[in-house]
Structure 1
């Protein structure tokens, strides 16, 4: 390769095209393109933050041109993956929401794309390597600050001038990918992820003062996205299968303890593989950051 071929712009263009082509190929069995995935994953991330964005807000968040987002949204709406409704405060805008099918599709694509990301970054040590972290820092510096957004134009304040290294979208994507792994580990066991988490709560946090108390705990976990009624159904199902005690106090039965141990074995192996090679100090830092973000989000929700 000549010096001219080694120019930064040319290399970035070649890498970008190679990654986009690889992503298109990986997602083709699901009928999605890379651009459609970016839009759906971005909408998924905003939805996890409790937001229903307009097309312009989604365009700003995803880093896409509004006219392109409009075209993609129409295609995805026709495929039944999202809906476009009249915006409640802006008659010129549409408000976007994922359908149940769209959310399920995103969860499946996250596992595929994260696996592809591992493969594509393998030549530099994988996503957790120092080389990849330096690459991310370099690309972020080349992108520069995000142009400030005018208040009212996208619903975001003009003080937001740069994308932070870790965003709600990143956290939502990681949560979606890990949740998909849990579903994969439990596939064929006859136990759903919600039931498994309910069993863990019954054993590790119990005993509980009745089924309602355990169901209330599950319903209060925002990451589970369970209504009170759905949480009660999970708990009732565990009791019907003899996995938790049918009365007060509520805790695991002997059969439940055996099932939890059996189901937990492949999940622990999965976790070992997932965290393999990651720096323990960085994991501790990540844990502190996530704990602080959780606390801040809860404060914001309560208005304190």
Structure 2
């Protein structure tokens, strides 16, 4: 009995030509830069994303609950709940009973949370501008188009 040879990569240059591997490498580089920028605010990357999304929703007239926040951020609901508790412990947001559903909690940024969100968003946008450089707008269009093709995974 002979064993079949594993298929060769469909990319001539191997990993160097693989979009998935290239995305992996770029993501690691970008995350390192974002993590460094967020150190000043004592936020992890996921804490930043959830705080920024809560701030954005609030700025657009929504008082989101944890489910709405998770959908906006594309995060797992359980993990979102755990991170929201940490943000609450840091004094950046509060969870209040939703008048329409006593089982749900509405999220409201504190004054400190709003201030931290504004500054941290600016810091991350500066990282993005440097990281993507002149390709920033084109990268945003490409990434948006790719996300729209995956409605089962992103709201």
Report if TM-score (shorter chain) is over 0.5. Answer: yes
Identify the residue that residue 91 of structure 1 maps to in structure 2. 102
Q: Cα deviations across residues 274-302 of structure 1 (Å, max 9, x unaligned)?
A: xxxxxxxxxxxxxxxxxxxxxxxxxxxxx
Where in structure 2 are the equivalents of 1:154-169 lying within 5 Å? Answer: none
Identify the residue that residue 3 of structure 1 maps to in structure 2. 13
Identify the residue that residue 146 of structure 2 maps to in structure 1. 142
Q: Cα deviations across residues 152-183 of structure 1 (Å, max 9, x unaligned)?
A: xxxxxxxxxx97xxxxxxxxxxxxxxxxxxxx
Whole-angstrom CA distance in 2 between matches of 1:45 and 1:117: 18
Structure 1 position 146, deviation (Å): 6.3
Whole-angstrom CA distance in 2 between matches of 1:54 and 1:145: 27
Identify the residue that residue 259 of structure 1 maps to in structure 2. none
Partner of 1:84: helix, strand, or coil? strand
**Structure ranking higher in strand proportion:** 2
Partner of 1:86: helix, strand, or coil? strand
The answer to whether 1:63 aligns with 2:87 is no
Identify the residue that residue 81 of structure 1 maps to in structure 2. 92
Q: Cα deviations across residues 3-26 of structure 1 (Å, max 9, x unaligned)?
A: 221211111122122211211111
Whole-angstrom CA distance in 2 between matches of 1:118 and 1:109: 14
Contact in 1 for aligned 2:129/2:136 (Cα 8 Å): no
Q: Which has the higher contact order (CA 8 A, sep 6+)?
A: 2
Whole-angstrom CA distance in 2 between matches of 1:18 and 1:71: 26
Whole-angstrom CA distance in 1 between matches of 2:106 and 2:119: 24
Where in structure 2 are the equivalents of 1:15-164 lying within 5 Å? Answer: 15-122=26-133, 125=134, 131-145=135-149, 147=151
Give the paired residue count: 142
Contact in 1 for aligned 2:94/2:109 (Cα 8 Å): yes
Structure 1 position 134, deviation (Å): 2.8
Where in structure 2 are the equivalents of 1:160-179 lying within 5 Å? Answer: none
C-alpha spacing 1:111/1:137, structure 2 compared with 1 (3 Å): closer
Greater CA radius of gyration, 1 or 2? 1
Partner of 2:61: helix, strand, or coil? coil
Provide TM-score, normalisation by structure 1.
Answer: 0.44
Contact in 1 for aligned 2:128/2:136 (Cα 8 Å): no
Q: CA RMSD in A?
A: 2.0
Gaps of 5+ in 1: 126-130, 149-161, 164-304
Where in structure 2 are the equivalents of 1:243-258 lying within 5 Å? Answer: none
Contact in 2 for aligned 1:23/1:33 (Cα 8 Å): no
C-alpha spacing 1:92/1:147, structure 2 compared with 1 (3 Å): farther
Provide TM-score, normalisation by structure 2.
Answer: 0.82
